[in-house]
A and B are shown apart, each in its own frame.
Chain A
Amino acid sequence: MPYRIFFESIAVSRRILIELARMRRSLVFWVIFPTLMLLLFGTMYAGGKHPGTSFDHTAPGILVGAALFFSCLGGTVSTIAAERERRTLRRLLLSPLSPASYFLGIVVAYLVIALAQTVIVYGIALGFGGHFQGNWLLGLAIIGLCVFSYVGLGFFFGARFARRTEDVNGPVASFGVPLLVLGGTFFPVALLPENLLMLAQADPVFHMNQALKGVWAEGKTLVEVLPNLMFLAGFAVLALWLGIRSYRAMLSQEKSA
């Protein structure tokens, strides 16, 4: 049984990656957008004086907000919406593919994408004089939690609301992008006034940024980022739970459609 789930989820993620590689449009967006944002904000904060430290501190936010948000959340939503729109979901229901494998397959596909984006963003940051410090494993674990949160939410929005891809891009952007800004993706949270800072505590993106910045830019240890990590882990569990629930509801709805 575990072997079967493994085999099936690899089949699903492989398929999604082939499709993405072939469509290119989203891949280009997922590479170009974070690259340009990183160059722009990195150079802006450097002010020509400290390009190195500036790129250290810009990279985590760009990765979490400009890269993973659009790939792992937006991508999951479109993957699911396309699966319904093109009726392939029904076909999957006819096969012995277990729902768990399908869910896992999507998570794995976007983990791969996330890893590639991490390499690109940090490659560029290092190329512009940024330094990489801290525990890389801990950083990867934080990125993993970000991916789980985003993919879980992607399932929630995709399964619950997206009959077509266009249905959901608007709402996700209109609530998502403000959360990105509030979470310190593009501007340091030091700029936030007291009341907004309080509000930011409830924003998962804030904790993603704080944790990753803490570990990879400031060399913080597990204990130092533990509060952010705890919040993030809790949120990831919540997002996955919501995702799985909506996904189940979608499956039974799809059966009778």
Chain B
Amino acid sequence: MNILEIRGVNKSFDGKLVLDGLSFSVAPGEIYGLLGPNGSGKTTTINILCSLLAADSGTTRVMGTDSGDERKRLIGFAPQEISIYRDLTCAENLDFFSRLYGLSSQQRRERVSELIEAFHLGEYANTCVGNLSGGWQRRINIAVAQVHAPRLLILDEPTAGLDIEARHELWQLIQRLHQSGIGILLTTHHLEEAELLCSRIGIVRNGHIAREGTLAELRDSIPAQQLAMVEAGDEEAVSARAREHGWEVRRYGGKPTLWLPRIFSLAELVEVFAGISVTSMALKPVGLEHIYLEVTGAGYTV
């Protein structure tokens, strides 16, 4: 059984359609990445899952349950904003929230030390959250979502606003969580994050999943095996030559990028552009970025 099933969810705010037939599912042991620009309805989706908002129509099921207290115990949600008690220590925050889930004092002690261990919080266990750096606050914000050992962990933009170092540490942490076998739903507008962490990615566009799959499947969904960046004094000549070979040309941020239908060597490429004075040439694998831009139809010119 899927941990999470979302079918045909619609939601509008003041007549503005935000979710339009959104459907996807998360299987056990999977990190599903909901990828979309700011304002594309990711948080709204989560709020509906957590029963904070009601959908206009459609169904959401967590381990087969529709709603209610039972469902609250199946979901662990770490909101985008740090939402824990600043004047309590890490250990006190964990203890307080485990009380709300009805853990006995024995269970609480065990769970709190497990989480402190798993999140490498030992050093700061007795430090007030308000005195910790943003990265550590994020950690404890996620740890609190796990006091009741949920089956589905929801992380809303878990690394938004973090510096590079803290972001990498958090990525490692999420990978470790994943190894524990729970299902994770992660939202992000950070392509590198989705590429690195997610076993499956759904790209949100106009309120529904416009494209979905593993990174390999997404790569296969566009007719390019490889990308080539060719700089030359005469860009038009480069584009014309590429089109002669039937290759697509995209301009990401102005520079022409060629979609190669198979893997080329640099030598082969040099041959293709013989006769044009090329100043530099580079080959690049197809990244999530290119698929994403293709799906959202933004960020490039033809």
Residue from A23, A95, A256 within 8 A of B101 (CB atoms): A95
* A92 B53 Cβ-Cβ under 8 A: no
Q: Does A255 contact B (CB under 8 A)?
A: yes
Please tell me which one of the listed residues B81, B85, B88, B100 contacts residue A95 in the complex, with CB atoms under 8 A apart.
B100
Contacts known (A19-B88, A256-B53); A97 close to B100, Cβ less than 8 A: yes
Contacts of B102 in A (CB 8 A): 4, 7, 96
Establish whether residues A96 and B72, one from each chain, have CB atoms under 8 Å apart when the complex forms: yes
In residues 79-99 of chain B, which contact A (Cβ within 8 Å)?
79, 81-88, 92, 96-97, 99
* CA of A219 to CA of B49, assembled, Å: 60
Query: How far apart are the CA atoms of A15 and B144 in the complex, in Å?
Result: 15
In the bound complex, CA of A145 to CA of B50 (Å): 38
Could you tell me the distance in whole angstroms from the C-beta of A205 to the nearest C-beta in chain B? 31
How many of B's residues come within 8 Å of A, CB to CB? 27
What's the least CB distance linking A237 to chain B, in Å? 28
Q: In chain B, what residue has the closest Cβ to A87?
A: B83
Main secondary structure of the interface of A (DSSP, over half): helix
| Contact call B72/A95, Cβ cutoff below 8 A | yes
Q: How far is the CB of A98 from chain B (nearest CB, A)?
A: 9
Find out whether the CB atom of B100 lies under 8 angstroms from the CB atom of A92.
yes
Known: A11-B100, A15-B96, A256-B53. A94 touches B77 (CB 8 A): yes
Asked if B128 is an interface residue, CB under 8 A from chain A, the answer is: yes
Shortest beta-carbon distance from B50 to chain A in Å? 6
A96-B83 contact, Cβ under 8 Å, with A18-B92, A22-B128, A256-B52: no
Known contacts A15-B96, A22-B128, A255-B53; decide if A91 and B86 are in contact (CB<8 Å): no
Bits for A91-106, please: 1 = Cβ < 8 Å to B, else 0: 1111111000000000
Contacts of B97 in A (CB 8 A): 91, 95
Which A87-133 residues have C-beta < 8 A from chain B?
87-88, 90-97
**Most B-side CB within 10 Å, residue of A93, A94, A255:** A94
Closest partner residue, chain B, to A91 (CB atom): B83
Count of chain A to chain B residue pairs whose CB atoms are closer than 8 Å in the complex: 64
Q: Choose one: A8, A88, A93, A94; the contact of B99 (CB below 8 Å).
A: A8
Inter-chain CA distance A86–B81, complex, in Å, is 9
> B residues 26-85 with Cβ under 8 Å of A?
47, 50, 52-53, 69, 72-73, 75, 77, 79, 81-85
A4–chain B nearest beta-carbon distance, Å? 7
Scoring A residues 120 to 159 as 1 if CB is less than 8 Å from chain B, else 0, what string do you get? 0000000000000000000000000000000000000000
Given the interface contacts A90-B83, A255-B52, does A96 sit within 8 Å of B101 by beta carbon? yes
Can you report 28 A-B residue pairs in the complex whose CB atoms are below 8 A from each other? A4-B102, A7-B102, A8-B99, A11-B100, A14-B96, A15-B85, A15-B92, A18-B88, A19-B85, A19-B87, A23-B87, A87-B81, A87-B82, A87-B83, A88-B83, A88-B85, A90-B52, A90-B83, A92-B100, A94-B72, A96-B73, A96-B101, A96-B102, A97-B100, A255-B47, A255-B53, A256-B52, A256-B53
With A and B bound together, what is the CA distance between A93 and B83 in angstroms?
12
Chain B residues, Cβ within 8 Å of A14? 96
Contacts of B87 in A (CB 8 A): 18-19, 22-23
- Interface 1/0 per residue, A66-98 and B, CB below 8 Å: 000000000000000000001110111111110
